Amino acid sequence: MGQLGLGKQFGRLAPQLDGAFRADGVFAHDRLRFVDFVDDVEDLLEEVAWQEWGNKKAVDGFEEYMLQHYSG
């Protein structure tokens, strides 16, 4: 989010991600599939990008990047 210039919105979005990570910071795979989590985050980022810039396309590629680099 910082690289996109949307870092100031993190505090507003963080509560919506509650439950996706355990207390130790590890992703909770037993509660949520990673691909579903990434899809949800992309939806949130699109909403923020629309509000900030009037352009959802600003976050295109987020889901693909995350799945390529982190899904294992």
pLDDT, tens digit (0-9, with 9 covering 90-100), for 7-16: 788 788 878 8
Q: Confirm whether 2 is domain-assigned.
A: no
pLDDT, tens digit (0-9, with 9 covering 90-100), for 55-69: 888 788 888 888 888
pTM of the predicted model as reported, rounded to 2 decimal places: 0.70
Domain count, the chain: 1
> Which helix (H) or strand (E) is 67 found in, with range?
helix 62-70
> Which helix (H) or strand (E) is 13 found in, with range?
helix 10-13
Residue 5's pLDDT band (cuts 50, 70, 90): confident
Helices (H), 1-72: 10-13, 34-53, 62-70
- Residue ranges making up the domain that contains 65: 7-71
Average pLDDT score over the chain: 84
Tokens of 24: 């130790």
Give the pLDDT of residue 72. Answer: 60
Give the pLDDT of residue 17. Answer: 81
